[in-house]
Structure 1
Amino acid sequence: MYSKQKLDNVKSINILLKSISYFDYNAIELKGSDDLKKRLYMHFPIVIMDANMVDLLYVEELRVDELKHLLSEGKFHYNSMIFINSIHQTPEKQELWRKLVALPMITVSIDMFHCGVLFIRKEQVKEHFTIRI
C-alpha cells in the first residue's frame, strides 16, 4: 500500500490496483463503474470478472443485508477482500461502514479514509485498523 508506485491518480483506485497486485487477485467483481473495469484490464489483462467465487469485490456502497446475501451465496473464500469506495463521503456512508465493521462475521476491517476494506477470516480475532494512505 505504501509503495511509491502510482497506478492511478485517484487515491482509492490506486489503492485498489495495488491491492490486486499485492494479493495476486484474479477473480474480481466490480459493482458500479465500467470506466473502472477498463482501467483494471489495462493493468491486469488476465483478470476474471464476475466469477462465482471472488477474490475481490469492489463496491461504491454495501448494505448489511446485501453482504449477508453474498455470504449466503458462498461468494467469498478465506482471503477474499471487500473493497468499499468513499466510506466517509456522506454521513449515510459512514454509518453503513460502521454497521459493516460491527458485524460478527467481519474479522478484519481497514479504514483508509478514501476507502475501506473488509475481510472475513473465521480463524482470526476481530481487528479494526485505521491507516493513512
Structure 2
Amino acid sequence: MVSTNQHGVHSPFVFRYVTQCLYAKNKMHKNRSINVLLKTIAYFGFEKVSIKNKTQVKKLVQQTFPEIQFDGYPCDLLFVDKLASGTFQQLLSEGKLHNDSIILVDSIHRTAEDLEQWNHLIALPEITVSIDMFHCGLLSIRREQVKEHFRIRI
C-alpha cells in the first residue's frame, strides 16, 4: 500500500499512529528521525528501549524520558542505523523482541545498499507493518495484523 498521508491508510493501528503521533503538532527535536523516535516513545509509552551506536541520541532520550530502561529485553523499541535481516532474525530468536516491538531504522534512503537492506527487512514474514517515512523507517511485529507497507510523508 502506498499512501503519502493519513487519508490512504486503512489500518487502524497505522492511522492512529500517523494522526495522533507523527502528525501531532509537538516537535520534540529538529532532526526528523530523532523527532520520530521521541514522539514514538511518548505515544506508545514505551518502557524498554535499545539504541545502538548512538550515544548522543541515548542521552537525549534519557533526558526526555528519565524512567526509560535501556537495553532491557525484550525491548519495546529498537533504534538502529542499519539492520541486516540476519541480525533481525537473531534478535527475534534470542527473545530480544516481542509481538508489539517496534524497530526504527534511521536513514533508510541514505544509500542504495541501505534501501536494499530495508526492502529485505520489509519482505520478512515476521514484519507485518512497515512505514517508509523517507528519513527513517518503522518496522512492527504484530502477528494479529495483516502484512502492509506504507509510505508516509512527514
TM-score band, normalised by shorter chain = over 0.9
Aligned position for 1:3: 24
- How does the TM-score come out when normalised to structure 2? 0.85
Higher relative contact order structure (alpha carbons within 8 Å, sequence separation ≥ 6): 2
The answer to whether residue 120 in structure 2 is matched with residue 99 in structure 1 is: yes
Q: Which has the larger strand fraction?
A: 1
Aligned position for 1:64: 85
Q: Distance in 2 between matches of 1:131 and 1:84?
A: 15
Structure 1, unaligned stretches of length 5 or more? none
- 3-state SS of paired residue (1:104): coil
Q: Distance in 2 between matches of 1:24 and 1:115?
A: 20
Aligned position for 2:40: 19
Q: Which has the larger helix fraction?
A: 2
* 1:46-94 deviation per Cα after TM superposition (whole angstroms, max 9, x unaligned): 1000002100001000001000000001111221101100000000000
Q: CA RMSD in A?
A: 0.7
- How does the TM-score come out when normalised to structure 1? 0.98
Structure 2, unaligned stretches of length 5 or more? 1-21
Q: Distance in 2 between matches of 1:123 and 1:44?
A: 29
The answer to whether residue 110 in structure 2 is matched with residue 89 in structure 1 is: yes
